[in-house]
Amino acid sequence: MKVIWDRFVSKGDIYKKSYKGNYCIGCESYKQDKELTKGVCPDHPTTGIRVIEEENYFFKLTNYKESLLNWITKNPNFLEPQNKLEELKNLIIGSEDISISRLKENCPWGVPVPGDDAQVIYVWFEALWNYAFAAGYLTDEFKWDNVIQLCGPDNTRFQAVIFQSFLEAEGIKKSDKLLVHGTILDTGGRKISKTLGNIIDPINQLEKYGIDAVRYYCLGGLNTYSNSSWSEEELRNLWNADIVNDWGNLLSRVLHLVDIKCGGKVSINPEDGFSKVVSQYKDDISNLWDNFKVKDALRKTNELVKFANKYINETTPWNSTTFEIELSNLLFLVKSVNSLYIPVFGNNRTDNISSIISEGKKQILFNRI
């Protein structure tokens, strides 16, 4: 941190002054009057606001707000979701120089300010640089390509305004993408907090439903970029419908047919028309993943599974004279779907399913919850 701090000081981007402001203990940051609702932080209404006056070091954010605003305007795809773009622009326009240190007597655990033992570096100045340090910054191995950040909505200012200004001040290109995910609320639509006593224990959820079901609900049930209420009923219903009834049932049907009709062995050589349909689905789903449309990608994957179950009902391979063609098509499809579920279930689970598909023997692979 000393190298960066000293560079900023030499450029005039860091200066010292006395400051009086509204400090939110929950956010661990100062708040402008316009950021408060009836004198309290909307994100931490019960922790209170303290008016603090002390001498701190400041980063001259105002040196970079105009260039940052121009860059955001020219690169709107930096932010996902796009409907938060105007909100981000307003954050930039309203930005002021920010305090980046605290008195050591009030914050004894911080990293010391170079050359000033009475001050420690404010956590957000230090923590944000970990993105660059993790990529090897200040070493010969530094790589800053295809940089994607993920944060919650209450972190947008730090990640999109402050950190991008730090990067510009240091002469590093800005991040390529910032994904601002939604907030998980309780079943009544309230923000989760210790004060309300409505905390959802993730360990408890994993013990009750298993990691696969919880992960599938987080990715395919909750909204990717807007708020969602956590519902155990919805978690169970989604898993039982999409994975047990649709995907698990498809695997069982196909493997049972391959076993009884072909002794467990079918050459995978799908018809051109069928292959094109499946390939188009795969391309569409991959594109959704590439563009971080997580929930949409899993909804599209489930659509492909439903297409396969409909295909079985329409072709009735159990009494068809062309059953080998139909089963070849279906094996091609289920192998494709299995690979599409890797982001959810991981390689171990999908590799195991791939082995079972190759054996051509029916198994119960997913249980209801």
Tens digit of pLDDT for each residue in 203-233? 999 999 999 999 999 999 999 999 999 999 9
CB neighbour burial string for 316-347, b if at least 16 within 10 angstroms, e if fewer:
ebeeeeebbbbbbbbbbbbbbbbebbeebbee
Q: How many CB atoms lie within 10 A of CB 271?
A: 13
pLDDT at position 177, please? 97
Closest to 344 (Cα-Cα) out of 214, 180, 202: 214
Q: Which range is most confident: 124-133, 300-309, 359-368?
A: 300-309
Which H or E element spans position 191?
none
pTM as predicted: 0.85
Considering the domain architecture, whether residues 211 and 321 belong to the same structural domain is answered as yes
Q: Note down the domain range covering 230.
A: 202-359
Using the predicted structure, report yes or no on whether residue 193 has a pLDDT greater than 80: no
Domain assignment present for 190 = no
DSSP conformational letter for 174: P
pLDDT at position 147, please? 96
Which residues are within 8 A (CB) of 49 and not within 5 positions of it... i.e. 6 or more apart?
A: 22, 23, 24, 31, 36, 39, 40, 41
Considering the domain architecture, whether residues 250 and 153 belong to the same structural domain is answered as no
Using the predicted structure, report yes or no on whether residue 22 has a pLDDT greater than 90: no
Considering the domain architecture, whether residues 151 and 30 belong to the same structural domain is answered as yes
pLDDT at position 43, please? 74
Averaged pLDDT for residues 131-158: 95
Using the predicted structure, report yes or no on whether residue 294 has a pLDDT greater than 90: yes
pLDDT at position 137, please? 97
User: Which band of pLDDT confidence, cut at 50, 70 and 90, is reported for residue 311?
Assistant: very high
Considering the domain architecture, whether residues 161 and 212 belong to the same structural domain is answered as no
pLDDT at position 191, please? 85
Considering the domain architecture, whether residues 33 and 169 belong to the same structural domain is answered as yes
Domain end position, chosen among 181, 211, 232: 181
Considering the domain architecture, whether residues 28 and 176 belong to the same structural domain is answered as yes
CB neighbour burial string for 219-232, b if at least 16 within 10 angstroms, e if fewer:
ebbbebbeebebee
Domain assignment present for 367 = no
pLDDT at position 42, please? 80
pLDDT at position 96, please? 93
User: Which band of pLDDT confidence, cut at 50, 70 and 90, is reported for residue 286?
Assistant: very high
Domain end position, chosen among 118, 148, 181: 181
**E strand spans, 3-134:** 14-24, 29-31, 49-59, 79-80, 98-99, 101-103, 111-113, 116-121
